[in-house]
Amino acid sequence: MTKHYKLQAGRLVLSDESEAQVIALVSPDPEEISALIKNYQIDEHTLSSVSDSDELARLEYEDEHIAIIYKRPKNYSAAEHFQFRVASSGIFMFENLLIIVSDIEMPLGDEKKFSKLTSLKMIALRLLSFSTLHFYEHLRVINKMSNELEEKHIYKLKKEEYLIVFGLSKSLVYYMNAISSNEALLKRMQISRNLNFDENEQEILDDIIIENSQCKRLTEIYSSVLENMMSSHEMSHESSTSSDVGSLKILNMLSVVIMIPTSITSIFSMNLKYPFDADDYRAFWLVLFTMLIGATLFWVWQIKKKW
């Protein structure tokens, strides 16, 4: 899908193709991609980078335009099973034209997010700022889910909930890589002489760099919290398992200890006189003493072995 916009009173409004200052393409098909390559001499590899979620953010200088590939959060879907993913988008800046390529439609007509626009460069900066804000929104959702799990189970997670925490932790790793990649892009734009930002645009870029840095720090904190939650769950699980194994060992030892006197009495019980019933019952006390000594020696031996 392709939409055309023009700047009007500090906002972007839909326009005809002949008047367009901004062309926005959403998931362009092969025919649209061929047209971009042919009509605007956009590098084919650079265009393919837009659809590659693993591609790093970067700044490239071409003869007629400047290409900006940046990272942004992918819109969350329930089918993702609590994994938040990242995607790439491309901005191609010509002298009098801005081409935006993405897999989702950008809210270019939003009066709040895209207002007080004075140039095409300002639009590009607002897109980068919107990406950072989008990361912030997803981080708030991840933190809310993390807090709910923490308050509900205090680190004693069920299997399904542990998988949720694992998915969120994995998502933050992707986010950290994407935000760090954007950070390198923004810093390169900050020192670039080819972009020729005016004072106002340079100030906005500086603000975006600060916002991105704060977003990166927040991602690190949330990632650390989830890692601690997973570690606590694993330690609790290991402790529970060790406790069960220890109980089984004690029961096994008691069984063996009891078995020793049982075996001795089984051998002699039918051939001994009971005490107080006869004149000579020393054999009874001998067998009893043997049982006690045997059981005690076995118990002491097992304790020394730390079984």
* 27-82 tens-digit pLDDT: 999 999 999 999 999 998 889 889 888 889 999 999 899 999 999 998 876 566 66
Dump pLDDT digits (tens) for 207-225.
Answer: 999 999 999 999 999 888 8
Res 145: pLDDT = 82
Count the Cβ atoms, other than its own, within 10 Å of residue 161: 17
Res 156: pLDDT = 55
Whole-angstrom distance, CA of residue 71 vs CA of residue 53: 8
Which of 149-158, 232-241, 289-298 is modeled with the greatest confidence?
Answer: 289-298
Whether 238 has a pLDDT exceeding 50, the answer reads no
Whether 298 has a pLDDT exceeding 60, the answer reads yes
Find, among 269, 265, 271, the residue nearest to 290 by Cα: 265
Res 94: pLDDT = 95
Average pLDDT on 190-204 reads: 92
Lowest mean pLDDT among 100-109, 161-170, 264-273: 264-273
Lowest mean pLDDT among 34-43, 146-155, 239-248, 298-307: 239-248
DSSP for residue 28: -
How open is the CA angle 152-165-73, to the nearest 5 degrees? 120
Average pLDDT on 151-166 reads: 63
Res 242: pLDDT = 47
Lowest mean pLDDT among 95-99, 146-150, 224-228, 274-278: 274-278
Q: Which contacts of 181-187 are long-range, i.e. CB under 8 A and separated by 24 or more positions?
A: 181/56, 181/57, 181/71, 182/57, 182/70, 182/71, 182/128, 182/131, 182/132, 182/212, 183/209, 183/212, 183/213, 183/216, 184/56, 184/57, 185/57, 185/58, 185/59, 185/68, 185/69, 185/70, 186/128, 186/212
Instruction: Give the pTM.
Output: 0.72
Dump pLDDT digits (tens) for 10-26.
Answer: 899 999 988 999 999 99
Q: Where are the domains of the chain?
A: 2-239, 242-304
Q: Which fold has domain 2-239?
A: Beta Polymerase; domain 2 (3.30.460)
Res 294: pLDDT = 67
Count the Cβ atoms, other than its own, within 10 Å of residue 102: 20
Whether 90 has a pLDDT exceeding 90, the answer reads yes
Which of 71-85, 117-131, 138-152, 260-274 is modeled with the greatest confidence?
Answer: 117-131
Whether 122 has a pLDDT exceeding 70, the answer reads yes
Res 223: pLDDT = 85
pLDDT bin (cut points 50, 70, 90) of residue 264 is low
